[in-house]
Chain A
Amino acid sequence: MTELSDLNLLEAAQALRSGMTTSQELTETCLARIEACDDAVQAFLALTPDLAMQQAKSADERILSWRKKSDEPLPLVCGIPLAVKDVLCLQDVPTTCGSRILEGFRPPYTATSVQRLIQAGSVILGKTNTDEFAMGSSTENSAYGPTHNPWKLERVPGGSSGGSAAAVAARMCFAALGTDTGGSVRQPASFCGVSGLKTSYGRVSRYGLIAYGSSLDTVGCLARNAADLQPIFTIMAGHDPLDSTCLVDPVPQVSLDQIELRGLRIGVPREYFIEGMQTEVETSVREAVGVYESLGAVVSEISLPHTDLAVPVYYLIAPAEASANLARFDGIRFGPRIEGADLLAEYLDTRGTLFGSEVKRRIMLGTYALSAGYYDAYYGQAQKVRTLIKADFEEAFQKVDLIACPVAPTTAFPIGQHGDDPLAMYLEDVFTLPANLAGVPGLSFPVGYDSDGLPIGMQLIAPHLAEASLLQATHAYQSTTAWHKEQPSL
């Protein structure tokens, strides 16, 4: 059965259409693969085998009737088993955000992005592990234990969508949904050697995404390559009347081969090559840029001068928003409650006990940044500097079509390495945060391996709503290279 799980999403879709396999068979294959590998990887927090088999059965019926009478278009994702990051609501299925404060919570509704994929016939295998409330870059902050990198189990898979990245890398699913608030799709994709798309802010509905930093949160997806990402993205994207920040702009249906690399202007920001970064990361990224150059792209060095301010800006804005977003977790309407002498005690104990230490740290930080007397100096100033960071990108995109840069300063680090030094951990996010602050899309994909055999990722960043360019440019790279075809021996 391993042959089936080795297929990528488009190959699997083709096999379904041709009748070579069925969705039920694909689903069983994935469930078997999860059974075999997930004790070691710990990518999933909850499995939904019954739901998945039921969805697979209806998908098979749909495919069968399509084959008889193929005038109705069949979505490419129909019958394809997927995994969903556990910050996206799926009705009646445990949704925890990797937190004890949501233990046992079964949402009464489904997130729009997930709903659209289900409607298109996708099969949902389960919910994947995440740093608690998506706060983290290693998936070590999950209350349910860390996820292990399929390439080297004692390494982190990155985060916060570490469970999704690991599940895709370990071929437990054909693609997975993640979310990216400060790099949470791109960095784990990079650490796990898969392709991960962070969509433009406003492109995919956030309805049903349990909010962390509302002005930064985006729903994204992870798969084995850019061509596999495209059908997921096009199904999820587009206006949703339930999200006031979801744009009405149409989602272009483009062919991935339709890109003219000759003359494509790619900028490489000098601020993204910093002291202390792993040499192999810089080498691989520069080599990948070289590939584009050899394909006819015009590469130039550019400057995004406010890059080094992204960390302090992000770590004031995101926690500030989080401090309000996480106020609803009070043990009154959902989640466990720590009973106490009175209402105040119940608030304090429920939240104090059931939130993990990183979540509490960020709530404290955000509460402080918004509090009387400090708003202007912290939150207010951060919002203004955010304007400058956004302007950096606007200016850069006057000169170039895409920006190419590293995703993280290093490859996957050992579990436990950052221990109790939050600032050091935050500084690791320096290359991914700016795209979130500017709201622009980014795509991370493997461009090499370090001496430990760990994947190295590069990200392309495009102007707002230009996901198609990212998918096309990545696909062009993946058509001439084979890094994305490497698999961990698991």
Chain B
Amino acid sequence: MSDFQTVIGLEVHAEFSTQSKMFCGCPVVDSTEAAPNSAVCEICTGMPGTLPVLNARAVEFAIRVALALDCEIANTSVFARKNYFYPDLPKGFQISQYSLPLAEHGHLTIETPDGEKDIRIRRVHLEEDTGRLLHRDGFSLIDFNRSGVPLLEIVSEPDIHSVEEVRAYATGLRSILRYLDVCSGDMEKGAIRFEANVSVRPLGSPQLGTRTEIKNLNSFRSMVRAVSHEVKRQTQLLCEGKEISQETLGWDVARGVTVSQRSKEEAHDYRYFPEPDLPPLYVDDTWIESIRESLPELPLARQKRLIVEHDLPPYQAGILTSEKEIADFFDAAVETGLAPPIKLAHWITGDLFSLLNQENIDLQQSKITPVALAELVSIVERGEINLTSGKTVLAEVFFTGRDPSKIIAKFSLDQVSDVEEIARLVSEVLNANPEQVSAYLAGKQPLFQWFFGQVMAAAKGRANPQILQEQLAAAFQQYQQSSAEE
């Protein structure tokens, strides 16, 4: 393996979350859920005589992404017809961009174990999505709900040299698309789709090896597995002195192998030519600049800022900034000034994330607000309730959206800090468990935690843990003394 270098370029297709389609007024719907052909018209089903009219928001979204990737935006770009026959392509051609794309020459910075690295972006262009084929009872059925949804194609240069970099590039790009609020990023629904061009060459070789193209990778997992498999396959072939044939491959998820779909000889002749139904797309500098000004802080910059401003560990800052809504939540919670940022970060990446995972929902779908979290953390920090209670309250806020202080009042969750009360509970528990007391006194140290839990349970979780610990220790000491005296 070490004698070879892997060279990978990625093509990413991102579906835009505009209200209407690229060239007609049909609404953009979730095509995995909507009734088939419920969001279609004569334009997006390619009826004879229909014509395309471009959606301004799709152009704006494309410019947002291109600017975030530091691309040069072409004031004038041209749509072209890409000709091929396929049942999900109603016109028999896809409106895309070819020789004059909207944007070129950008880059995406990724993090690698060796530090930051720029992956160059070759081009960013607009096109339309196709319909979907469903296979049923020995036939294929066509649903055109997805047909004409705006699609952005982002093509990288072959600057990616490992599977880890593939993952970093893909997640970084997905994160940016979500930050820019142009794409749901929902890979299960096909909102982002990947194609990888893979080749390997002997280390130090100036020439690129023969590349294969792996199509339709619709999850990070598939992509990583497919690329790993393909790199291994090609390396092995080269080691055996065999040739790699230029071909298009598909990823067989079930078998975990790449399978040939098309050889170079069968390659498509797409016969691109300028789309005569659409004059050139013109975007002026004023528009570009106004979009540039409206761009949000992007994930990497935000991560760096959190590290510097709040002294967060890079890994945690990375998690907090991977999704814009999480990062916004964190920033808003910090903004309240109620709780230390580092504590807020722990609560978010710890218990809040557990709740989100457990419920399998997005932050937006939960009821918790940044202010509520900050309030809760500040109450815990002041020692008014213990950590365990804090977690209970967090769950309550998460599900109901109620004010933490009110929850605490209502459920009388205020921590019991009354020493005498705690001492009473401790002696109750010890008296009830003489055998365990003996065992502990005989040297079975871990039982201390068990007793601690028993008392806390008796206190319904409300005992101030500090005082409990002291009282428990004091009680045992008393036992020891009395037994020594006896």
Contact = CB atoms under 8 A, between A and B. Distances in A.
A241 B53 contact: yes
Interface in A82-110: 88-89, 95, 97, 102, 105, 107-109
Contact of A244 (B142, B269, B272, B279): B279
A372 B269 CA distance: 6
A215 B47 CA distance: 19
Contacts of A343: 87, 140
A211 B277 CA distance: 10
Interface in B68-125: 81, 83, 85, 87, 90-93
A332 B83 contact: no
Interface string A13-57: 000000000000000000000000000000000000000000000
Contact of B269 (A107, A324, A371): A371
B23 to A, nearest CB: 9
A333 B51 contact: no
Interface in B45-61: 45-54
B278 interface: yes
Interface centre among A95, A210, A328, by most B CB within 10 Å?
A328
A207 interface: yes
Contacts of B53: 241-244
B48 A327 contact: no
Given A89-B48, A211-B49, A215-B276, A327 B85 contact: yes
Contacts of B279: 244-245
A347 B42 contact: no
A273 to B, nearest CB: 32
Q: Give the interface residue-count category, chain B.
A: 20 to 34
A328 B92 contact: yes
A282 interface: no
B271 A371 contact: yes
Contacts of B48: 89, 95, 97, 102, 105, 107, 210-211, 328-329, 334
B258 to A, nearest CB: 24
Contacts of A323: 83, 271
B50 A244 contact: no
Contact of B54 (A244, A326, A329, A333): A244
B273 interface: yes
Interface string A306-341: 000000000000001101101111101110000000
A122 B140 CA distance: 44
A251 interface: no
A249 B366 CA distance: 53
A244 B49 contact: no
Contact of A332 (B87, B273, B278): B87
15 contacts: A88-B49, A105-B48, A107-B49, A111-B49, A211-B48, A241-B53, A242-B53, A245-B51, A321-B276, A323-B271, A324-B271, A332-B142, A343-B87, A347-B85, A375-B271
Interface of B: 42, 45-54, 81, 83, 85, 87, 90-93, 140, 142, 269, 271-273, 276-279
- The 8 A-B pairs with the shortest beta carbon distances in the complex, nearest first, are A327-B92, A214-B276, A370-B271, A215-B276, A210-B48, A208-B49, A210-B49, A328-B46
Given A333-B90, A334-B48, 5 more contacts: A208-B49, A209-B49, A245-B277, A328-B90, A333-B46
